[in-house]
Amino acid sequence: MNVPRVRGVCPGLSTPMQTGDGLLVRLMPAAPIPLDAMLGFCEAAGRHGNGAIEVSARGSLQVRGLTADSAPLFASAVAELGIAALEGVPVIAGFDLMGADLLPSRTREEGVDTAQVAAELRSAIANAGLALSPKVSVVVDGAGPLHLDALTADVRLRAAEPDPGSRFGVPRFHLGLGGDGASASWLGTVAAADVVAAVIGVLRTIAARGATARAAEILRTEGGEAFRSAVAIIEPAAPPPQRMPAEMIGLHSALDGTAAVGIGLAFGQTQAAALGEIICFAAAHGATAVRPAPDRALLLIGVSAPDALNLSAAAERLGFVVRADDPRRRIVACPGAPACAAGLIPARELASGLASALAFIGTNSRRDLGLGTPSPQGGEEKRVALLSCRPRGVAIHISGCPKGCAHPMPTALTVVGTPRGCGIVRHGSARVTPSHYLDPANLSREILRLAAKSKGAAHG
């Protein structure tokens, strides 16, 4: 077993990464994980690691607290459980045909199977033997509401809307480069049958620029022509329409009458015991599999519809996020101390305490902090209406040190670990010099004071 710590290289099962609380491994499952296998995964994480399990913003599973001796044992346990993880260039498939036919999907009716396309791409990329940056990734997305627009990718495929009047009688994909679903540079469309050749052509173009080249950089320096001239099978086409952000948290109806229950991990982390408990509960309510999803979420698939609310309530009792407007989703925190050796404050612990304090402040104060307002209990229509207008994005970033790994962008309020305690930055990133410093024990009080000040300024 290698135990390297190479920045930029994914800490996969065979290449764990050293962190403050031991070795960390990350894996992106190639398919939904059967619940018995997921239960075994939780047990292995508790036995070989420190029990902390995370879901990353891109939907990867992470296990912390392994040792040089236990990491190979954990890798063996995962292999024995039959959990296949993506290797090499990550090719991430959309959810349209997930598990129990999760959602009505136009791509399904058209005969486009994103999982199948992704599998063919993985095989072709492996055979091509390209020397690509370990950060290069590919997304194969469908037309369903649980889309992958939030994920950045070097190469993005999105199933094209059917156009009965066009000469294209076969399913097609939009092909985009760099950015996320909203900011990608769309080159045109390609027939589903030509997708593998087109993507390999694009990846060859990237690889030809060197082992650290990325699509976005080539676009910036050479423009889209660098790819179009190399991949002639791309037909010019208007970019695909923008769409509402996907919301993984909540109840999702499946074609077969079952439901998928989307739950979130507060600040991206839970304990193996809590996850195992909800997996057992889900199994008792008919769920068949679990799929990690973007935005630090898990989708429990195949739940009998009448039991979905019970499962959601059980997840809430165990500390999982079950409401789209949960204010914890507007707070981002890295592991901080002691999990990260560079951490100067216990970022996640502070975030958790802050979330508890925020639960007791008034609606106006929460809104003034940019955290949204608590949703009233109500029917599905009210839930959907609230979901569509809830504030999105990060309002508060708690960073263990000025590196700001969890969120490099500015936020309304950043709390950064420094040798002087918590540094407070308004409307800036963790790298900005704080306006003032305070003892971590006083953080919640300070945040509430800032909320009151914002409110006073707004109404004064």
Please report how close the Cβ of residue 19 comes to ligand SF4 at its closest, in angstroms: 8
CB 396 within 8 A of CB 332: yes
Q: Which residue's CB is nearer to ligand SF4, number 290 or number 334?
A: 334
CA distance 178 to 185: 7
Contact between 405 and ligand SF4 by CB under 6 A: the answer reads: yes
Q: How many chain residues bind ligand SF4 (CB under 6 A)?
A: 12
Please report how close the Cβ of residue 194 comes to ligand SF4 at its closest, in angstroms: 41
Please report how close the Cβ of residue 263 comes to ligand SF4 at its closest, in angstroms: 24
3-class DSSP state for residue 450? helix
| DSSP-derived secondary structure letter, 239 | P
Q: Which residue's CB is nearer to ligand SF4, number 262 or number 421?
A: 421
Q: Which of 205, 399, 444, 454 binds ligand SF4 (CB under 6 A)?
A: 399
Q: Which of 46, 286, 346, 404 binds ligand SF4 (CB under 6 A)?
A: 404
Q: How far are the Cα atoms of 12, 108, 170, 195, 299 from residue 167, in angstroms, in the given order?
A: 44, 21, 9, 18, 38
Q: Which residues pair with 293 in a beta bridge?
A: 297
Burial of 357 (0-12, 13-18, 19+ CB in 10 A): middle
Please report how close the Cβ of residue 355 comes to ligand SF4 at its closest, in angstroms: 18
Q: In what order do the strands lie in the sheet with 331-333?
A: 331-333, 396-399, 411-418, 421-428, 436-438
Contact between 22 and ligand SF4 by CB under 6 A: the answer reads: no
Count of beta carbons in the 10 Å neighbourhood of residue 85: 18
Helices (H), strands (E): how many in the chain?
13, 20
CA distance 156 to 205: 15
| DSSP-derived secondary structure letter, 72 | H
Q: Which residue's CB is nearer to ligand SF4, number 117 or number 334?
A: 334
Please report how close the Cβ of residue 407 comes to ligand SF4 at its closest, in angstroms: 9
Please report how close the Cβ of residue 310 comes to ligand SF4 at its closest, in angstroms: 36
Please report how close the Cβ of residue 147 comes to ligand SF4 at its closest, in angstroms: 29
Q: Which residue's CB is nearer to ligand SF4, number 137 or number 399?
A: 399
Contact between 140 and ligand SF4 by CB under 6 A: the answer reads: no
Contact window for ligand SF4 (CB under 6 A) among 1-9, 211-219, 235-243, 394-402: 394-402
Q: Which residue's CB is nearer to ligand SF4, number 209 or number 431?
A: 431
Please report how close the Cβ of residue 417 comes to ligand SF4 at its closest, in angstroms: 6
Q: Which has the closest alpha carbon to 94: 117, 71, 127, 68?
A: 117
Full DSSP string of 108-136: HHTT--HHHHHHHHHHHHHHHT----TT-
Please report how close the Cβ of residue 216 comes to ligand SF4 at its closest, in angstroms: 23
CA distance 416 to 444: 14
| DSSP-derived secondary structure letter, 67 | -
Per-residue x/- marks for ligand SF4, 335-364, CB under 6 A?
xx---x-xx---------------------
Q: Which residue's CB is nearer to ligand SF4, number 173 or number 267?
A: 267
Contact window for ligand SF4 (CB under 6 A) among 36-44, 96-104, 323-331, 393-401: 393-401
Contacts of 360 (CB under 8 A, 6+ apart): none
Contacts of 12 (CB under 8 A, 6+ apart): 25, 26, 27, 85, 87
Q: Which residue's CB is nearer to ligand SF4, number 325 or number 349?
A: 349
3-class DSSP state for residue 150? coil
CB 225 within 8 A of CB 231: no
28-87 residues in contact with ligand SF4 (CB under 6 A) are none
First-to-last CA distance in the chain? 62
Please report how close the Cβ of residue 182 comes to ligand SF4 at its closest, in angstroms: 26
Q: Which residue's CB is nearer to ligand SF4, number 153 or number 401?
A: 401
Contact between 403 and ligand SF4 by CB under 6 A: the answer reads: yes
Q: Which residue's CB is nearer to ligand SF4, number 302 or number 343?
A: 343
Per-residue x/- marks for ligand SF4, 298-337, CB under 6 A?
------------------------------------xxx-
Contact between 434 and ligand SF4 by CB under 6 A: the answer reads: no
Contact between 297 and ligand SF4 by CB under 6 A: the answer reads: no
Please report how close the Cβ of residue 44 comes to ligand SF4 at its closest, in angstroms: 24
Q: Which residue's CB is nearer to ligand SF4, number 49 or number 404?
A: 404
Q: Which residue's CB is nearer to ligand SF4, number 400 or number 434?
A: 400
Q: Which residues pair with 398 in a beta bridge?
A: 333, 415
Q: How far are the Cα atoms of 23, 69, 113, 378, 430 from residue 19, in angstroms, in the given order?
A: 6, 15, 38, 43, 20
146-165 residues in contact with ligand SF4 (CB under 6 A) are none
**Residues in the site for ligand SF4, rule: CB under 6 A?**
334-336, 340, 342-343, 399-401, 403-405
